[in-house]
Each structure stands twice: as C-alpha cells, then as structure tokens.
C-alpha cells in the first residue's frame, strides 16, 4: 500500500503544482477554473480542496452533442 500511496501523492502534487503555475500567470488573487475529467479526476480533486468541477464523462458528453448536431442536419 505504501507504493500506491506514494504514486497517489505524487500525482496529486503534480496537479497542485500545475494549478499553482497556472494561477501565477493570472491577475493577483484570481484562480483558474479547473474542470477535471476521467477516471482519476476524484483523486486529483482531493488535492485541490474541492475547488474544481468534476465531469468524469466530459468526452462522452461532447461526442453526444456532436452526434446530435450531425443528426439535425
């Protein structure tokens, strides 16, 4: 379990660092809007203290929208 915990903490640390770097490029006091998708999104969200929007099926939602527009034509 220690190995798995280490991998998870490393993953979460990478996410936190990425968000911090994004925020550094924004006006002071502004935080980026974060949308997480995919099977591990919930683990990344834990590192960001819930300041995110979880959309685990975002790609499939997009494909559905594209399909609906194609069928309208």
Summarised one tens digit per residue, pLDDT across range 17-31 is 998 898 899 999 888
pTM: 0.67
Mean pLDDT (whole number) for 32-56 = 86
Mean pLDDT (whole number) for 46-63 = 88
Q: Which two structure tokens, joined as six digits, stand for 21?
A: 């770097």
17-42 per-residue burial string, b: 16 or more CB within 10 A, e: under 16: eebeeeeeeeeeeeeeebebbeeebe
């Amino acid at each position: 379990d220690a190995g798995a915990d280490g991998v998870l903490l490393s993953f979460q640390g990478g996410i936190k660092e990425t968000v911090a770097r994004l925020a550094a490029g924004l006006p002071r006091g502004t935080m980026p809007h974060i949308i997480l998708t995919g099977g591990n999104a919930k683990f990344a969200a834990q590192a960001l203290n819930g300041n995110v929007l979880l959309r685990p099926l975002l790609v499939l939602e997009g494909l559905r929208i594209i399909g609906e527009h194609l069928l309208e034509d």
